[in-house]
Each structure stands twice: as C-alpha cells, then as structure tokens.
Structure 1
Amino acid sequence: MSAPFLIGEHMTGGYGKGPDILHDCTIAVDRGEIAVIVGPNGAGKSTGMKALFGMLDVRQGSVCLDGEDITALSPQARVVKGMGFVPQTHNIFTSMSVEENLEMGAFIRGDDFQQTMEQVFDLFPILKDKRAQPAGELSGGQRQQVAVGRALMTQPKVLLLDEPTAGVSPIVMDELFDRIIEVARTGLPILMVEQNARQALEIADKGYVLVQGRNAYTGTGKELLADPDVRKSFLGG
C-alpha cells in the first residue's frame, strides 16, 4: 500500500509552550478524495487541520505531502509545496474586488494565471458576475466562494477547508458542498473540518471523528453514518 497523498501521522502537539491539544492523532487524504474531520466543539478538529498546515508545533509524529516529510516546514513553504488552506474567518480581503482577491491567490505563480481564473469563474459563476464588486459587499456564501477560489488560484495539490459552511444557510451549504464535490472530481484531494457532521459525512470518502484531540472513530463516510455509536453521540441519533 502506498502512503496517502497527505498524512499527519501520530501527531501530538499544541500552540507554542501550551499544553498538547492533539494526542497521537492521525489524519490523511488521498488523490480525488474528500476527507472530513468532525466531532464535538473543542474536539481539536481545526487544530488537527492547522497541524497539517504547520500552524502549531507537532511535538511527536510527522506530516508528509506526496511522500515528502514536511513536518519542519513553515505554512508559507507548505503553500509553495502545494497546500491550499482556507481558514474559517478573515479569509478574504474585504476592500478589494472579487477579481483582485483571486489575483492575490496567484501571488506565488510566475506564469499566466488567466486560465485558472476562468476555471474558478466556471466553478462559481456568481463570482464572474460580481468580479468588479468589493468582496466585503458579498453574502456569506459568496465570500466563501471567493476564499475557495483564491486558494484554487495557487493551483494547489491538496485543499484544506476549515468550516467552509459556517454561518451560511442550508441552501448555500448544499451549493458549496456541490462545488466541493466538483473540485474533488478533478482529482484534487480535499480535507475539511465541518460542524455539519451528517451532511459532511454524506459527501465524504473518508471521515475522522475526533474527541479531545484523539481519533475516536475512522471510516468511510457511509460507515460512520451507519455506526450506531457515532449516530448516537455525534449525529443526534
């Protein structure tokens, strides 16, 4: 068996000199997969993702991208290696236009990125219509589309999404999930943290339930949805 495209293996760590938040936690995603991290509030879901992106100290364990150990790399160096990360909040430049936000996503590229921008507009047609509008004037769901689009402008090899549907309506959530499925179908691995656990597991190839920074349950989306313990504890029965 070859190793997953992105894997954080046996990660233990926390922020700065603070206590460990993750405890022997393993999270992975492979090409063309959607993997989701779910669990109760304070379970370490976003922390697990930030560990993969280099935003906290992994004191034990390792992070590997496409077979390369990147545990010691900064978040900026990981972006250059091919990681796209969309944080939950403060993920757009509100005073810049939609188009300028997307251009900012191409900052690491030295080639012509116009074709990538057209691909983003094909994926999110509303952004093409509003390309000249300040991003801060958009609805919550449209802002999330800008944030995901900007990450795609880097031409990432893997995309990390931290609570992409936070604060949006159920209709917008469904639409965002549809777009995420579309992106994954291009072969791009997607790892996301989600509060809407049931809906996220429905589109997931692989799911991780974290509790207090540890792996509590791991399986396919279907397996976790069918697991009575997972249903009772995390999905409302």
Structure 2
Amino acid sequence: MSNPFLIGENMTGGYGRGADILHDCTISVAKGEIAVIVGPNGAGKSTAMKAVFGMLNLHKGSVRLDGEDITKLAPQARVAKGMGFVPQTQNIFTSMTVEENLEMGAFIRTDDFSNTLSQVYDLFPILKEKRYQAAGELSGGQRQQVAVGRALMTKPKLLMLDEPTAGVSPIVMDELFDRIIEVARSGISILMVEQNARQALEIADKGYVLVQGRNRFTDSGKALLADPEVRKSFLGG
C-alpha cells in the first residue's frame, strides 16, 4: 500500500530504558480499513499499538498519520490530530454516569458535540437507555461500549482498540465486532489488538501476526485464516 492513512514503519523500541520489545515492526491502516494485530501472549501486540500512539520510546522507525510525521508528538497531541485510543483496562470513569463519560470524550472539542453524542447513542442504544446510570454499574460489554463511545466523541479519523472483547461473552463479542464494522464503514480507520484471533481476522481487511515484536505474517484477514501455518501455529488448527 503506497499511501496508507496510518503507518508505523520499522518501529524498534520499548518502555523507558528497558530492552527493546519491538524490532523493525511495521503496521499500516488504510482509510476506512480494519487492521487487526494478533499473535501469542508476549508477542508485542499491545506494545505495537502503544508505539503508534506515542506511549513508548522508539529508537528507530517513524509514525505517519495522513502523510504527516507524528513520531515526536505526545499522545495528547496525536488525539488532536485525529487518533482515538481505547486501552484494555481502566478505560472508563466508574463513578461518573454514562453520559458524563461520553461528554469527557469531547474534552478537546470546541464545537457543538450533540450530533456526535446522538451518533454514539444510535450505535450503542443501550447506552442511551442507561445514560444517567453510573458507568461502574454496567456489565463488562456495556463498559466497553462506553469506552469506545467516549473515544468516538473526539471525532477520530483512526480508532485504536486494545483487546476490546477481553472478558466478554461470545454474544457480546459478536455485537461489538458488528459495531466496529459500522464504525469502519463510516470512514474511520480501525487498528485493533485481539486475543480472539480467528473472529477478529474474519472482520479484518488486513491482519498482522506478530511474534517476539516482529512481523511474522502480513496479509488480508481471509488469506491469514486460510494459511495452513497461521492456522496451525496461531489459530488452533
């Protein structure tokens, strides 16, 4: 892909002064595309996403968003450029209501965000129903909807999700994936780290299999699902 919307290219680095976790890792996403990062535990999947978001030190490589080099920008500056990031844990304010959580997502907005709030409620109807309830009282799947909805309130061009289906039931996972597909169809690029590799690759335009912080396989989601070596080593046969 000659002009991806996002590309983290030849990323090498780690946390603080520790050893490098990523080694010449490259991740790219086109406009409106769903890209999924999968691999065994400790492969550097979440680290690769955090590198794209500016949360660790890159000793080598670069990150470009819509053609602009953002390698030196802090995470909050990347949000202003159009990145939305949903961490795996501690991703909502439990004592605040659902609606207050969503409003917090609009903290960088200076315009009227009521239309975006309506769009989030259209995407996740249960959140509208529970908008005055404390977010900490919700189920795990509903909390994830709040976290994704809050990220969408920034009107991101790229939405990054770290293990969005962790700890939820298969039914809730399918529902979350359906909503993620809807978001991508609206033109927002999706970069997602997932342990549920088979299900994630089924909805992915592109998949990355990382092993020990390096690219092992890169192809379309369908091609990776059909690859005998990928199936045997990473998808349970």
- Classify the TM-score, shorter chain: over 0.9
Secondary structure of the structure 2 residue equivalent to 1:120: helix
- Does 1:173 find its partner at 2:176? no
Number of the residue aligned with 2:67: 67
TM-score normalised to structure 1 length: 0.99
Superimposed CA distance per residue, residues 183-227 of structure 1 (whole angstroms, 9 cap, x where no aligned partner): 000010000000000000000000000000000000000000000
State the Cα deviation string for residues 146-184 of structure 1 (Å, max 9, x = none): 000000000001000000000000000000000000000
Partner in structure 2 of residue 117 of structure 1: 117
- Map 1:40-79; keep pairs closer than 5 Å: 40-79=40-79
Aligned to 1:35: 35
Q: Cα deviation per residue 1:5-53 (whole Å; 9 max; x = unaligned)?
A: 0000000000010000000000011111000000000000000000000
Which residue number in structure 2 is paired with residue 209 of structure 1? 209
Residue in 2 that maps onto 1:82 = 82
Q: Superposition pairs for residues 137-176 of structure 1, below 5 Å?
A: 137-176=137-176
Shift of residue 3, structure 1, vs aligned partner: 1.6
For 2:121 and 2:27, the matched residues in 1 are separated by 31
CA distance in 2, matches of 1:189, 1:110: 23
Residue in 1 that maps onto 2:91: 91
Letter paired with 1:89: T
**1:34-84 CA distances to partner (integer Å, 9 max, x unpaired)?**
000000000000000000000000110000000000000000100011100
For the residues of structure 2 that align with 1:215 and 1:2, how far apart are their CA atoms? 18
**Unaligned residue ranges in structure 2 (runs of 5+):** none
Report sequence identity in percent.
83
The question of 1:8 aligning with 2:2 is answered: no
Q: How many residue pairs end up in the alignment?
A: 237
Q: Which amino acid aligns with 1:128?
A: K
Q: Report how far residue 2 of structure 1 moved.
A: 3.8
Counterpart Cα distance in 1 of 2:29 and 2:200: 15
Partner of 2:222: 222
In 2, Cα distance between the equivalents of 1:84 and 1:174?
Answer: 22
Q: Distance in 2 between matches of 1:2 and 1:215?
A: 18
- 2:175 partner SS: helix
Q: What are the Cα deviations for residues 119-163 of structure 1, in whole angstroms up to 9, with x where unaligned?
A: 000000000000000000000000000000000000001000000
Amino acid in the other structure paired with 2:73: L
Length-normalised TM-score, structure 2: 0.99
Q: Separation in 2 of the partners of 1:25 and 1:35?
A: 15
Aligned letter for 2:50?
K
> What's the counterpart of residue 233 of structure 1?
233
Distance 1:42 1:2 in 2: 30
**Structure 2 SS opposite 1:55:** coil
SS of residue matched to 1:195: coil
CA distance in 2, matches of 1:173, 1:197: 12
